[in-house]
Amino acid sequence: MPKVLVLDERGGAPQLRDAPDEPLADGEVRVRVAYSGLNYKDALAVTGRGNIIRGDFPFVPGIDLAGDVAESASDAFAEGDRVIGTGWGLGEERPGGYAERQRVPASALVPLPTGMTLQQAMTAGTAGLTATLAAMALEAHDFYDDVSLAEAGEIVVTGASGAAGSFAVTLLAEAGAQVVASTGSADAHAYLRERGAARIIDRRELSDGPVRPMQSARWAGAVDAVGGDTLATLLSEMERHAAVASFGNAGGHELHATVFPFILRGVSLLGIDSNTCPGARRRAAWQRLARTLTDADYDALAGRVVPLDEVPAASEDVLAGRTRGRVVVKVGE
């Protein structure tokens, strides 16, 4: 019988137990899960901190999964197909990836790209997908119609030593951009240079908020994983008609900014939501990851692999900042 890591109640201790397969509804796929990931959001859910889980208890966390199709009630996938699942409430509103077999709506799945392994897919996971969507949004912005990303000037990535930030640095550097990595971790400087950062700045240069509504223009683009006053500072320092791709709120969910960067410099703020990203764009992002990142890139971005029964302890490590790189969960065979 398949095993699952389940929470019986909010704040309760996670339990590893057997769980029978439930019948598939129309449009659902049963995935034989090989790997999942341990995101910060997953760690909060597993430890009962934060109001992450919005589904009914008992509940199986895990916002990412990768595996092969064991059974399908959808025309989109057939038995044996290798798939990736992220977003659309997985691990938050509906049971997630910490299960050896899981029912998933076909709409939440994409085919595993050629050349990518299931473990690499979960090394990327939601963090890699989000960073890729941010890079794609910047590249599609009309600021870069007349000048290439490589020639535009400096592109700053905030929260650069975090999971999504590290992927953003890697992807933008691979595209030829002059990447400036903003981080508060002195220990991460060598790592970020290996990922392709041309220059590194202390996050305090950006984190206090702007002194004036518009400051000297510094950046030809930005990927912001922090939010709050950091995002407000970025907006005030953008070049004319440049854009900020934003997906983070670790620095706060409120934005204390003015309209001046938008109406006097034509700055654009691009919101990135990987959770409900349309299918075609989601597939394109995964294909971009598969084309761009090498085995060496995945090795550099990876942290450690833990079995399902070690997820609770690993969650504490994630929340305490004791991990480096992506934590991948080995779920099944």
pLDDT at 143: 80
Residue 239: closest CA among 159, 153, 179, 157: 153
Domain borders along the chain are: 3-112+294-330, 126-271
pLDDT at 26: 97
- Fold type of domain 3-112+294-330: Quinone Oxidoreductase; Chain A, domain 1 (3.90.180)
CB atoms within 10 A of CB 310: 16
CA dist 242 to 165, 200, 224, 237, 274, Å? 19, 20, 14, 10, 22
Q: What is the dihedral of CA 185, 190, 194, 196, to 10 degrees?
A: 60
Q: Which residues pair with 86 in a beta bridge?
A: 64
Measured CA to CA, the distance from residue 330 to residue 194 in angstroms comes to 27
**pTM for this one?**
0.94
In this prediction, residues 305-318 reach a mean pLDDT of 95
| DSSP 8-class letter at 14 | P
Residues 7-58 have pLDDT tens digits of 999 888 999 999 999 999 999 999 999 999 999 899 999 999 888 999 999 9
Residues 267-288 have pLDDT tens digits of 999 999 999 999 999 999 999 9
Model confidence band, residue 333 (pLDDT cutoffs 50, 70, 90): confident
- Fold type of domain 126-271: Rossmann fold (3.40.50)
Residues 101-137 have pLDDT tens digits of 999 999 999 999 999 999 999 999 999 999 999 999 9
Residue 116: closest CA among 330, 295, 331, 317: 295
